[in-house]
């Protein structure tokens, strides 16, 4: 069975799916679209698709088996439920919902109607993320104790509904679902604590944020989104007992620095100088905490780049639709993401960390 698609919301992302993301094979066909905006409906007609101005009529069209929802965040719930109840399979853009309760309703509707339901977590196939995943699984860093996921910039928030609270704007619902989903994929353990600090510097929605996650297995993770940071830090900073990985940005410029001498000899030097002897090196021992390692005690490894592969999501969806594979993004995984987001909003609101079991 081919994947035949009707798109709800032919805005930037809807068109982008049609034009760029969907694989260019016969297995994937966009046939129809529904949009509330008249000019977009005209545009859709020009592409040769069936264009609807009524959701009911759109959902009655049995030429397509899959609905792609790519509308502002606050409209996902009603649209996903309507599509599932109309017997369609559903792919929803992220964030799938405004909170965990909404996606639980979606999952229930998906089960009730026995239809596929998945969330487009495309950044599971970003090159930078796949590099991090590989490096961690290869053990190159020793025992990883902390993962820092940063999205830094000084461009503010895009000037559309992403700035509007009632539409589900703000950076926690924008980059948050990607960063949290990636961390949950990387770290096979439950989230036991969330500490979030969401700032509203320029908008009514959160525009700068940090979240500290703690996992049951002892790892900690940072999620950072700054839209007011005029100096950016790398996209990834992964700390292990034996080495560190930094990946600069989405292009995947990545480097590992590893220790090849287990214990630094300066500790022993310090013993020599402990007591009434002339300090040979540094003014105070503490300063040496920051001293760069001599080059002969480390190795620097350039990490091979991995290409982004967003079509993978659709190829998997085709397999799942034909009963040959499990969904790449399972709705229960997206539910976990939304649970973490719920707790993060609440943590920031009350100004305290929140213990959880997610």
Q: From CA 265, how far away is CA 57, in angstroms rounded?
A: 75
Cα of 182 vs its chain's centroid, Å:
5
Query: Residue 27 or 193: which CB sits closer to its own copies?
Result: 193
Cα of 21 vs its chain's centroid, Å:
17
Count of residues engaged in binding its own copies, rule: CB under 8 A: 93
Asked whether position 145 contacts its own copies by CB under 8 A, the answer is: yes
Query: Residue 132 or 320: which CB sits closer to its own copies?
Result: 132
Region of 69-77, 79-87, 278-286, 315-323 interacting with its own copies (CB under 8 A) = 278-286
Region of 53-61, 102-110, 209-217, 333-341 interacting with its own copies (CB under 8 A) = 209-217
| Window 289 to 348, contacts with its own copies (CB under 8 A) | 289-293, 298
Q: From CA 239, how far away is CA 191, in angstroms rounded?
A: 18
Asked whether position 280 contacts its own copies by CB under 8 A, the answer is: no
For 57, the token pair is 């009529």
Q: Are 338 and 176 in contact (CB under 8 A)?
A: no
For residue 136, what is the enclosing H or E element?
helix 127-138
Tell me which of 55, 250, 315, 319 binds its own copies, using CB under 8 A.
Answer: 250
Q: Are 227 and 156 in contact (CB under 8 A)?
A: yes
| Window 103 to 142, contacts with its own copies (CB under 8 A) | none
Asked whether position 50 contacts its own copies by CB under 8 A, the answer is: no
Q: How far is the CB of 188 from its own copies (least distance, A)?
A: 19
Q: How far is the CB of 345 from its own copies (least distance, A)?
A: 16
Q: Are 94 and 80 in contact (CB under 8 A)?
A: no
Asked whether position 217 contacts its own copies by CB under 8 A, the answer is: no
Q: How far is the CB of 67 from its own copies (least distance, A)?
A: 18
3-state secondary structure of 297: helix
Q: How far is the CB of 81 from its own copies (least distance, A)?
A: 25
Query: Residue 21 or 55: which CB sits closer to its own copies?
Result: 21
Q: Are 69 and 91 in contact (CB under 8 A)?
A: yes
Asked whether position 72 contacts its own copies by CB under 8 A, the answer is: no
Q: Are 313 and 125 in contact (CB under 8 A)?
A: yes
Tell me which of 48, 283, 307, 357 binds its own copies, using CB under 8 A.
Answer: 283
**Rg (Cα) of the chain, in Å, rounded?**
24
Asked whether position 8 contacts its own copies by CB under 8 A, the answer is: no
Q: How far is the CB of 176 from its own copies (least distance, A)?
A: 11
Question: For residue 44, what are the CA distances in angstroms to 64, 77, 196?
Answer: 16, 24, 41
């Amino acid at each position: 069975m081919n994947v035949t698609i009707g798109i709800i919301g032919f805005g930037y992302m809807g068109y982008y799916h049609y034009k760029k993301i969907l694989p260019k094979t016969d297995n994937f066909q966009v046939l129809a679209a529904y949009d509330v905006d008249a000019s977009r409906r005209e545009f859709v007609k020009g592409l040769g698709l069936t264009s609807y101005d009524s959701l009911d009529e759109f959902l009655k069209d049995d030429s397509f088996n899959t609905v792609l929802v790519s509308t502002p965040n606050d409209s996902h719930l009603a649209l996903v439920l309507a599509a599932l109840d109309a017997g369609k399979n559903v792919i929803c853009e992220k964030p799938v919902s405004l909170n965990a309760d909404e996606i639980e309703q979606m999952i229930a509707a998906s089960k009730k109607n026995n239809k596929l339901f998945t969330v487009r977590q495309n950044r599971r196939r970003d090159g930078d993320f796949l590099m991090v995943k590989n490096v961690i699984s290869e053990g190159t860093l020793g025992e990883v104790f902390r993962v820092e996921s940063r999205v830094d910039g000084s461009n503010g928030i895009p000037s559309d509904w992403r700035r509007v609270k009632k539409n589900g704007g703000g950076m926690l619902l924008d980059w948050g679902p990607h960063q949290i989903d990636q961390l949950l994929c990387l770290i096979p353990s439950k989230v036991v604590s969330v500490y979030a600090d969401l700032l509203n510097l320029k908008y009514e929605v959160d525009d700068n944020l940090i979240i500290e996650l703690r996992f049951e297995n002892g790892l900690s993770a940072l999620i950072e989104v700054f839209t007011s940071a005029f100096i950016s830090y790398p996209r990834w900073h992964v700390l292990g007992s034996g080495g560190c990985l930094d990946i600069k940005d989405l292009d995947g410029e990545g480097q590992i620095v590893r220790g090849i001498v287990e214990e630094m000899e300066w500790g022993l030097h310090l013993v020599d100088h402990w007591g009434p002897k002339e300090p040979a090196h540094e003014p105070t021992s503490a300063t040496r905490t920051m001293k760069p390692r001599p080059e002969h005690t480390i190795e620097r490894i350039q990490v091979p780049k991995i290409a982004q592969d967003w079509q993978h999501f659709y190829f998997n969806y085709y397999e799942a639709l034909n009963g040959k594979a499990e969904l790449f993004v399972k709705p229960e995984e997206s539910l976990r993401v939304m649970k973490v987001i719920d707790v993060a909003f609440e943590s920031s609101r009350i100004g305290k960390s929140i213990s959880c079991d997610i």
